[in-house]
Chain A
Amino acid sequence: MHMLEVKNIHKSYCKVEILKGVSFTMEKGETKVIIGPSGTGKSTLLRCINQLSPPDKGEVWLDGEEVTNPKTNINKIREKIGFVFQDFNLFNHLSALRNISIGLEKVKGIEKEEARKRALEELHRVGLDAQAQQYPAQLSGGQKQRVGIARALAMDPDIILFDEPTSALDPELIGDVLDVMKSLAGKVAMLVVTHEMGFARNVADEIIFMEGGVIVEQGPPKEMFTNAKLARTREFLGRIGALYGEEETGG
């Protein structure tokens, strides 16, 4: 049994089919990176997995439970699927610390003091001990995103979905966030939509190349970067490598 199984997902918005049958699987502790041109439905796919936008057709299974079944308690499932947003979505009215502890308290029902302690540990893990009492508007973009990751991590999920976690950040802030993500590799499963080729090459166990609402090709980074089967994949990787400079991050 796979930890995560995505079967034949279809999703349309306003009669335009964004996802046209996407299937793949993930195992415990695995890191997979989804790449592809913008507008290919990569973010939509992530939102289908944790049902923020339920798919029109297809199934998602997590730990042998069908996520897409309407009878499933989706809130219980979402506790096990962390989500890191492109634009952070930190809770504006709560300090960094409270952003992390609120899920522990109100969803997991952990007692306040204990939740606080665990939140502090998570903040430490992402290197933000000093920022515990600051509010989102007082944090830099990179710090916000690390709080976002800590918030997801605190729930002790089986898998974390990253929706372009660094694309809203200034280039000099990207490194800190990628470092935190790299440090998680192997400890928790990660499914990452990103244009950071350095991260994809060095951290991912597998790269999934999507275009036009379907998976074009997938495989280990080495194979994909040096020896992709399809011309389209080679072309895309060549172009994006030139654009984003694959050497500069995560070396």
Chain B
Amino acid sequence: MATDFGQFFLNSLPNLLNGLGYTLLLTFISIAVGFFLGIALALGRVYGNKIINGFCVGYIELIRGTPLLVQLFIIYFGLPSVGIIFSPLQAALIGLAINSGAYQAEYLRGSIQSVESGQMTAARSLGMNKLQSIRHVILPQALRISIPAWSNEFIYLLQYSSIAYIIQVTELTAEGKFIAAHTFRYLEVFAMIAVIYLVLTIVSTEIIDRIAKHLSIPGIGAAKRVSLRDI
């Protein structure tokens, strides 16, 4: 039985690794694109005029108010009806990035607003313009503060990238389903998949924690860990 499972695992490995590759690709690209999107939206919300702010609020609320799967369906099944066609992988990447951008914007906005207003005043009094103050004084603090939330977002994307399976991206869960459907060994396959996700979750949390410690400055960031206790 044990050797049987070992053999089964080895046979499944190429497929699983292939799927894992796509899962990581989806996660990394969408968190990176979502990050820049999130910064733009957050700055728009905090410093933008009425119109920009209104647009950013609309975007963030609409994305956060609808399921990721609906967003993927609109991109993958909906847009072709008006002549815009994406491959499953493209559709998944676009959907995840757009989705993550809205969530990251909210974390970042909270962090930007938690930087004391005196910091902006001090930067301006040195003669920096608004953009410089944001770039050199506000963001370096805000980004450190948002690392814990950002770590949660990373885990969220890692897990929710599995939904790309539903629009036929052959990521980890899809590969698992494929193997299981052919061998009828659902329990073993999904147990393996679950363990892979668990390990990924634990390892990435640990890595981000280390980065946070490395970047931490006394008084900012690491000490100000966002936890549910703050509710």
The answer to whether A and B touch directly, with their CB atoms under 8 angstroms apart, is no
Residues in chain B within 8 A of chain A (CB atoms): none
